[in-house]
Amino acid sequence: MPFYRNIAAKIALLPMIVISLTVFVGCIIYSFVYSLTNSKLVPVMNYVGFDQYERLFKQRKWDVAVENIFIYGFVFTIGCLIIGFLLAVLIDQKIRGESLFRTIFLYPYAMSFVVTGLVWKWVLNPTFGLENSMHMWGMTWFELDWLVNRDLAIYAVCIAAVWQGAGFVMVLMLAGLRGIDEDIWKSLSIEGVAKWKSYIFVILPMLRPMVVTAIVLIAAGVVKVYDLILALTSGGPGYATTTPAMYVMENFFSRANLGQAFAASIIMFISVVCILAPWAFYEFYLRNKYANN
Amino acid sequence: MKKIFSILLTIFIPLSFTNVSKAGSHMEAEVIHWWTSGGEQAAISEFAKAWEEMGNTWIDTAITGGDNARGTTVNRIIGGNPPTAAQFNVSKQFVDLVEQGLLQSLEEVASAEGWRDFIYPPELIETCEFEGEFYCVPVNIHSWQWMWINNDVYKQVGLPVPQTFEEFLAGAPKIQEAGIIPLALGGQGWQESGMFDVVASSIMGFPLMQSIYRDKDLDAFRDGRFESVLNTYRELNQFTDEGSPGRLWNDTTAMVIEGKAAMQVMGDWARGEFAVAGQEAMVDYSCVIPGKEKYVALGGDVFVFPKNDDPKVKDAQLAMASMMVNPTVQAKFNNAKGSLPMRLDVDTSAADACMQMGLDLIQNPDAIMRESDDWNTPAFTAAWGDIISEFRNDPNYTVAQVMDDLEGVLTSGL
């Protein structure tokens, strides 16, 4: 393709290219360079090799953070997909008041994660939340201490996140379901396939683009999760619900430990690349290649 | 066109004149701080009032949360848009700024006014002095070393008000039986490690604490007394409630005020909460400095003045530094804040019984205690605090493991 083809479009894109090169690539290089220093409150060029990375991997807190992001990523993604799909299927049954239900289920998504976090913080708090109400109604056997139990607190975070994200997946899926041709349903009913079977084995594979879109959008939210946890648990109890993003922010600001923060953010970056690169390669390159051939 | 020009002239000429006429005496100062609660705001406005009475303008940049405020200050200094003055804690938080030459030396006004003669205790001078020059202004002293106790609760169960953690632990089961939470603790990292240091100093004494926190003396660390502190701390934590994680300190103080809980370990800023609730020191509540040897910790706040190319800013900075240590301003400020002043010749007649205890104690140099962050970087104290917080929250984290991990922090060179 000659260079001057679509020259106007290329010129129009130039500012964006310059910004992404300087801001994104530039900052990544900057972060990497300073992750090799022992910068504390201000960045200083004091080379210490890979000490910061060594220290990072020795941190119990970092291990917990990495474990949490995997738990959160898995539960949040799967939870949103399953619940979102189920809700979409249920709404797709030509029910009465569909738009009302759609609004109700999508509504949490309109809220910021901070609000979601605070709401669930009150609901799940054992001394004045749901548990307390149940006790007052006489159901003293009821126990809901997830938020203050260090082993379960991360799942409490997942519940809040799924509550917020499921409605969004539902809308995506519903759009997909509405795009399914009536004839397919007709032929399925002529064949006498059970409804649940047709949804799982026929319709779901046809929704593949929707599922992929949903996964990409959810996954992007997983890596940067910060505000929800800050509002809900502030990383506690102890540091049981801390995440890599929180670890980075903490070291940047309150701990005045820039070198460590840079090292942690570089590791975050590398792991995201490791996870996304093979998939992106497949999705955008290989598939096109096969499709074209 | 002519008309527009003349209108513009009439607008701008007087403006430019006023600017010129004010330049000699009028100074403008932007101050970044994190004093946003009721009592705190009353305190900072004493500074603002005094500054405005001098004929100057005070631009208030209040940012919630010390971490955020300090982060903003550093970002703005590095970004080339420094504030006139910024708040930090009495600690090592701003050492890097001094070492990078980003702060204004206050030596000119400090030596002219003889700060070294009146700043008390002298440990505060150490915090601010680098290579013989002053770089910060200490404005107050806050001590963590307090137990806040609801007297009614102890009357109700028929026990005397405890004076040590051992006495508290002895009475705690009885309080629990009466359906009251013995220990009110907010489960945030800073509250957990703050209480830990109070337990540590009251059990093993300040000299040992100093050899661990300052000198990183591993023999002192391993001689068994630190382990007993950890054990006591774990015992204390049996007596908290399950609503503890993430609770704010003032909500926790409210539990003691309302009689839902018997005791809270918290710094002297908690006194303000009791005062607002209309309670009287030593009548409705007791403030106890726990332990046989009683200490006042030298926490508190300082202001630093980032360097600026504009010479007018430097004048404003020196004038403000001098204003902050002024005894009259100090009296008003500290009465509003509930903290101890940083000099002895200040009128403290408005002090209540608890504050008086602190004032009496601080005159004895042996009772003055330093905190870990006076010697250590924020990275060190935070890494240490993480372990303490995890120890409190994870019952499977054994004392032996904690000792190893803490030793790791001590030897990390952070």
CB–CB of B390 and A236 under 8 A? no
A140 pLDDT higher than 50: yes
Tell me the fold of B28-142+299-366: D-Maltodextrin-Binding Protein; domain 2 (3.40.190)
Find how far residue B267's CA is from the centre of its chain: 8
Average pLDDT, chain B: 88
Q: Which helix (H) or strand (E) holds B303?
A: strand B301-304
Q: What are phi and psi for residue A67, nearest 5 degrees?
A: -60, -45
Contacts of A253 (CB under 8 A, 6+ apart): B67, B68, B70, B71
> Residue A102 is encoded by which pair of tokens?
């759609």
Domain A61-248 in CATH 3.40.50.2300 = no
Q: Give the pLDDT score at B53.
A: 93
Q: What is the CA radius of gyration of chain B?
A: 24
Cα-Cα-Cα-Cα dihedral of A174, A180, A184, A188, to 10°? -10
Q: Where are the alpha helices (DSSP H) in B205-260?
A: 206-213, 218-221, 225-237, 249-258
The label of the residue with tokens 């250590």 reads: B376
Domain boundaries, chain B: 28-142+299-366, 147-294+377-409
Contact B321, B122 (CB under 8 A): no
Which stretch of A81-90, A124-133, B232-241 has the lowest confidence by average pLDDT?
A124-133
CB–CB of A256 and B408 under 8 A? no
Confidence of residue B23 (pLDDT cuts 50, 70, 90): very low
% pLDDT > 90, chain B = 56
Contact B222, B399 (CB under 8 A): no
- Among B67, B95, B389, the residue with its CB nearest the CB of A253 is B67
pTM of the model: 0.82
Range B340-378 burial, b when 16+ CB lie within 10 A, else e: bbbbeebebeebeebbebbbebbeeeebbbbbbbbbbbb
Size of the A and B interface in Cβ pairs below 8 Å: 95
Residue A107 C-alpha, separation from nearest chain B C-alpha, in angstroms: 27
Q: Which amino acid, one-letter code, is at A217?
A: L
Architecture of the CATH domain B147-294+377-409: 3-Layer(aba) Sandwich (3.40)
Confidence of residue B5 (pLDDT cuts 50, 70, 90): low
Same fold across B28-142+299-366 and B147-294+377-409? yes
CA distance to A227, A228, B18, B160, per residue, from A115 (Å): 9, 8, 48, 45
Q: Report ipTM (2 d.p.).
A: 0.77
Range B225-235 burial, b when 16+ CB lie within 10 A, else e: bbeebbebbbe
> 3-state DSSP call for residue B30?
strand
A152 pLDDT higher than 80: yes
Q: Does A238 touch chain B (CB under 8 A)?
A: yes
- Among A55, A125, A238, the residue with its CB nearest the CB of B394 is A238
Q: Give the pLDDT score at B144.
A: 92
% pLDDT > 70, chain B = 94
Contacts of B382 in chain A (CB under 8 A): 250, 254-255, 257
Cα distance between residue A153 and residue B263, in whole Å:
27
Q: What are phi and psi for residue B303, nearest 5 degrees?
A: -115, 140
The residues on B that touch A, with CB distances below 8 Å, are: 67-68, 70-71, 74, 78, 93-97, 100, 102, 187-189, 241-246, 377-379, 382, 386, 389-390, 392-394, 405, 408, 412, 414
Average pLDDT, chain A: 87
Contact B85, B59 (CB under 8 A): no
Q: Which amino acid, one-letter code, is at B133?
A: E
Instruction: Give B188-241 pLDDT, tens digit per residue.
Output: 888 999 999 999 999 999 999 999 999 999 999 999 999 999 999 999 999 999
Q: Give the pLDDT score at B17.
A: 43
Contacts of B412 in chain A (CB under 8 A): 55
- Among B71, B243, B393, the residue with its CB nearest the CB of A253 is B71
Domain boundaries, chain A: 61-248
Contact B122, B334 (CB under 8 A): no
CA distance to A30, A183, B12, B22, per residue, from B8 (Å): 48, 75, 6, 22
Instruction: Give B289-345 pLDDT, tens digit per residue.
Output: 998 889 999 889 999 999 998 889 999 999 999 999 999 999 889 888 878 899 888
Q: What is the mean pLDDT of residues A129-143?
A: 85
Instruction: Give B113-123 pLDDT, tens digit per residue.
Output: 999 999 988 88
Q: Which residue does chain B place closest to A153, by CA atoms?
A: B245
Instruction: Give B70-94 pLDDT, tens digit per residue.
Output: 989 998 998 889 999 999 998 888 8
CB–CB of B390 and A60 under 8 A? yes
Cα-Cα-Cα-Cα dihedral of B260, B266, B271, B275, to 10°? -20
> 3-state DSSP call for residue A167?
helix
Interface test with A, best of B72, B102, B394 (most A CBs within 10 A): B394
The label of the residue with tokens 């409804």 reads: A195
Q: Which residue does chain A place closest to B378, by CA atoms?
A: A255
Q: What is the mean pLDDT of residues A65-79?
A: 93
Q: Give the pLDDT score at A148.
A: 83
Q: Does A250 touch chain B (CB under 8 A)?
A: yes
Q: What is the mean pLDDT of residues A34-43?
A: 86
Confidence of residue A196 (pLDDT cuts 50, 70, 90): confident
Contact B149, B263 (CB under 8 A): yes
CA distance to A1, A10, A16, per residue, from A5 (Å): 7, 9, 19
Interface test with A, best of B234, B255, B393, B414 (most A CBs within 10 A): B393
The label of the residue with tokens 């005159």 reads: B363
The larger pLDDT score, comparing residue B370 to residue B13, is at B370
Confidence of residue B21 (pLDDT cuts 50, 70, 90): very low
Interface test with B, best of A255, A257, A258 (most B CBs within 10 A): A255
CB–CB of B71 and A252 under 8 A? yes
> Residue A11 is encoded by which pair of tokens?
């010129």
B50 pLDDT higher than 60: yes
B151 pLDDT higher than 50: yes
